[in-house]
Structure 1
Amino acid sequence: MAKYFDVHPDNPQPRSIGQAVALLRDGGLIAYPTDTCYALGCALDNREGIERVRQIRKLDDRHHFTLMCRDFAQLGQFAHVGNAVFRAVKAATPGPYTFVLTATREVPRRLLHPKKKTVGVRIPDHPVTQALLAELGEPMLSSTLRMPGDDEPMTGGWDIKELLDHAVDAVIDAGECGTAQTTVVDFSEDEAVVLRRGAGDPARFE
């Protein structure tokens, strides 16, 4: 049975955040709110967590997970960012964008695009997500919480608790989330290529 944390969307209770992060460090899988929609998250080195996400969402091995980073300094540990790309990404973060960048050696091989050696990274603009990442002290592996056959992600914490009570270890409820996913921008070749239009305005990269 998943633990249920009802937290304030702007000032999440430190005790609840600490308990959720303790679960992450112990190999747990959580459902949590972001600045776009609810997501599933686990620790970076949690292989079992990755498989659990794949089972919940019915994903194959080609699915690309996102590294949810606290800030630009943390992002820079896991992705190579040239000067031109630095300015473009810095101006759009934190925010509802996922950036595909060339990965550094810090990224586990299983998380890389098999041919391009790239990784998707993002810096969310949500107090709860930021609190989780600050307490964890490292990026969180993340995937949109969209169930098989659904067109949009799940939006309510209690609905997630009822549906995934035995599939995740915790649900963090900070109220209703949106249904838009991030805008995905590929910077792996230095020139910006918008791969998916979402919550973030793609015009700045076109």
Structure 2
Amino acid sequence: MAQFFSVHPQNPQIRLLRQAAQMIAAGGLVAVPTDSSYAVAAPLDDRHAADALRRLRGVDERHHLTLLCRDLGEIAQLAHVDNRQYRLLKAATPGPWTFILEATREVPRRLSHPSRKTIGIRIPDHPIALALLQETGSPLLSTTLIPAGEEEPLNDAAEIRERYQHDLAAVIDGGACCGEPTTVIDLTAEPPQVLRRGRGDPAALGLQES
């Protein structure tokens, strides 16, 4: 059964997040609250992590997985970012956005889109998610916790544990999130294209929805 960590949403107990980080380092999947909805995080360097996340979500390799990062410096190591893209990233992060960017060679090919060689990148604006990233010391592979065949992300930690007790190593209970997924923006398009409208308002970044 997945371990259950009750963590304060504003002042997370580092000793608990350190335990969760150790589970991730060992190859486990961990549900974590973010500024949009609950996500499942996995180690970036684990060869089986991407397949495990895709099975959990019921999606194929064409579905963009997301790299959770601590700051813009980490993004620059994982994605090619030009000046236009950097300005938009700087204005939007941290926040409820996922940006599609061209992956660098630092990103294993198995994690990027098979034909486009792109990857989702995100800096969450949530104390628990950021503290977990600090404890792991590196970006994490993630996906929004939307059950296969459903459209809305799960928002209750107890329900997540009940439904995925045999799939997750741990669930970090930080209380309810806002319950909306991130807004996904393809920065490889010109102009940038809104692929999914979520919590983030594209107009706040000067973008129009098609």
- Per the TM superposition, whether the score is higher than 0.5 is yes
Shift in Å, 1:193:
1.2
Counterpart residue number, 2:19:
19
Q: Secondary structure of the residue that 2:98 maps to in structure 1?
A: strand
Change (3 A) 1:160 1:134: same
Shift in Å, 1:51:
2.2
Shift in Å, 1:178:
2.2
Matched AA of 2:54? R
Question: Which residues in structure 2 correspond to 1:91-130 (within 5 Å)?
Answer: 91-130=91-130
Shift in Å, 1:190:
5.0
- CA distance in structure 2 between the partners assigned to 1:174 and 1:129 by the alignment: 10
Deviation sequence 1:121-161 (CA, Å, 0-9, x none): 01000000000111111110000101123221100111111
State how many pairs are aligned.
206
51-60 vs 117-126, which moves further: 51-60
- CA distance in structure 2 between the partners assigned to 1:50 and 1:88 by the alignment: 28
188-197 vs 68-77, which moves further: 188-197
TM-score under structure 1 length normalisation? 0.96
Change (3 A) 1:190 1:105: farther
Structure 2: gaps (5+ residues): none
Q: Is the 8 A contact 2:40 2:145 kept in 1?
A: yes
Q: Secondary structure of the residue that 1:47 maps to in structure 2?
A: coil
- CA distance in structure 2 between the partners assigned to 1:102 and 1:52 by the alignment: 23
Deviation sequence 1:44-92 (CA, Å, 0-9, x none): 0223232222222222222210001111111111011111211111000
Q: Is the 8 A contact 1:85 1:190 kept in 2?
A: no
Question: Which residues in structure 2 correspond to 1:146-165 (within 5 Å)?
Answer: 146-165=146-165
44-53 vs 23-32, which moves further: 44-53
- CA distance in structure 2 between the partners assigned to 1:27 and 1:15 by the alignment: 19
